C-alpha cells in the first residue's frame, strides 16, 4: 500500500488515515515488543515480551544486523553538510555515508569518522555481530539533521572482505515529544533523497509504504549497481485508552537509515549446506 510521497509523517493525532494500524486506538502491542520487529531474521527476539524498562537494551541490540535482499524486498534528509568531503556526488549513485565509502578498510573508515565527526578512536566502540560475524564500528553523534539530538552510527565490515559493506544510522525516542522530532527527521530525509533523483534508478524508488508488521518504508531507492538506501520508521503508540477522538500519542519511535552495498549477496557468515 503506497501513500502520496508529497505527504508528511505527522504526529498520531493528525495521521490516523496515514497509518491506522500503527497509531490506531485498537493497537495493543507494547513498545519493546513492537521495536524488536526491526531486527530482521531474529525470530526469537520478536517473540519475547520484555518489560518496558528494558527498552534501551533491546533497541541497542536490534539495529546492527546486515540488511539482506529478503528483508528489503518486503517493500516494493540528513541535510547535506557544508563540509565538502561529505557531500555526495549526485552522479555517483550510492557509494556510502559521507566520507565513509563502500570498500574502505577499517583504518580508512576510522579516518572517515574522524573527518566527518571530529571523533577520536577512543569514541569508537567495536562489536561483533553474534550471528553474522561482521565487525561493527559504532559511534554516537549529535544533530545530524537540525537539532535532532543523538543518533547512533554503525559501520559494518564484511566477514571475508574486511571492508565497509553497510552503514546504519539510528534515531530513537522514548517519549511523545522526542518522537515527533524523530518523525520530522524522517520527513526531512525522505524529501532530501527524493530530490537526489539522479542517484537512483527510476523504477526502484518507494516512499511512504507500510509493511505488514506496521513499520513504514519512508524511502527506499537503489542505484544502477543494486546498492540501496532504505529509511524505515517504527512507531509504537501508547497502550492507554484514548481520552477523546484523537489517536493516542506515540510513546516511542525508531528511525533507521541504512546504506547497503550488496543486499542480494551480503558479505556475512552463512550456515553451510548440510550443517542442519
SS3 63: coil
Residue 178 lies inside a defined structural domain of this protein: yes
| Structural domain total, the chain | 1
Would you say the C-alpha torsion 191, 193, 194, 196 has a positive or negative sign? positive
Is residue 151, in this structure, part of any structural domain at all? yes
Q: Kindly state whether residue 112 falls inside one of the protein's structural domains.
A: yes
Lowest mean pLDDT among 174-188, 206-220, 258-272: 174-188
Residue 272 lies in a domain: no
> Does 82 map to a domain?
yes
For 206, list phi and psi in degrees, rounded to 5. Answer: -130, 140
Domain that holds residue 172: 20-238+247-260
Tens of pLDDT, residues 82-99: 444 445 454 569 999 999
Which among 142, 121, 233 is positioned nearest to 188, based on CA atoms?
233
Residue 14 lies in a domain: no
pLDDT of 142 strictly over 90: yes
Residue 218: closest CA among 178, 177, 261, 188: 188
Q: Does residue 274 belong to any structural domain of this protein?
A: no
- What would the pLDDT profile of 199-217 be if each residue is shown by its tens digit? 999 899 999 999 999 999 9
Enter the pTM of the model. Answer: 0.69
- Report how far residue 249's alpha carbon sits from residue 258's, in angstroms, rounded to the nearest whole number: 27
Would 41 be classed as within a structural domain? yes
Amino acid at each position: 500500500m503506497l501513500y502520496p510521497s508529497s505527504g508528511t509523517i505527522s504526529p498520531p493525532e493528525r495521521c490516523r488515515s496515514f497509518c491506522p494500524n500503527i497509531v490506531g486506538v485498537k493497537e495493543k502491542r507494547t513498545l519493546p515488543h513492537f521495536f524488536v520487529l526491526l531486527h530482521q531474521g531474529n525470530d526469537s527476539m520478536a517473540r519475547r515480551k520484555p518489560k518496558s524498562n528494558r527498552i534501551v537494551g533491546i533497541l541497542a541490540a536490534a539495529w546492527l544486523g546486515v540488511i539482506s535482499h529478503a528483508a528489503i524486498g518486503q517493500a516494493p534528509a540528513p541535510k547535506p553538510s557544508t563540509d565538502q568531503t561529505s557531500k555526495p556526488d549526485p552522479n555517483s549513485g550510492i557509494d556510502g555515508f559521507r566520507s565513509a565509502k563502500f570498500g574502505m578498510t577499517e583504518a580508512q573508515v576510522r579516518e572517515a569518522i574522524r573527518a566527518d565527526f571530529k571523533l577520536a578512536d577512543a569514541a569508537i566502540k567495536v562489536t561483533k555481530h553474534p550471528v553474522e560475524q561482521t565487525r561493527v564500528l559504532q559511534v554516537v553523534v549529535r544533530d545530524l539533521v537540525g537539532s535532532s539530538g543523538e543518533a547512533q552510527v554503525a559501520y559494518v565490515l564484511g566477514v571475508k572482505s574486511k571492508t565497509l559493506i553497510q552503514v546504519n544510522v539510528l534515531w530513537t525516542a522514548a517519549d511523545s515529544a522526542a518522537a515527533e522530532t524523530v518523525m520530522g527527521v524522517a520527513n526531512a530525509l525522505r524529501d532530501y533523497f527524493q530530490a537526489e533523483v539522479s542517484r537512483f534508478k527510476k523504477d526502484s524508488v518507494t516512499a511512504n509504504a507500510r509493511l505488514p508488521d506496521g513499520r513504514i518504508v519512508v524511502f527506499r531507492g537503489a542505484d544502477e549497481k543494486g546498492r540501496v538506501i532504505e529509511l524505515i520508521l517504527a512507531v509504537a503508540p501508547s497502550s492507554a485508552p484514548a481520552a477523546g477522538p484523537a489517536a493516542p500519542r506515540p510513546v516511542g519511535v525508531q528511525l533507521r537509515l541504512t546504506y547497503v552495498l550488496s543486499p542480494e549477496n551480503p558479505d556475512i557468515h552463512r550456515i553451510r549446506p548440510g550443517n542442519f
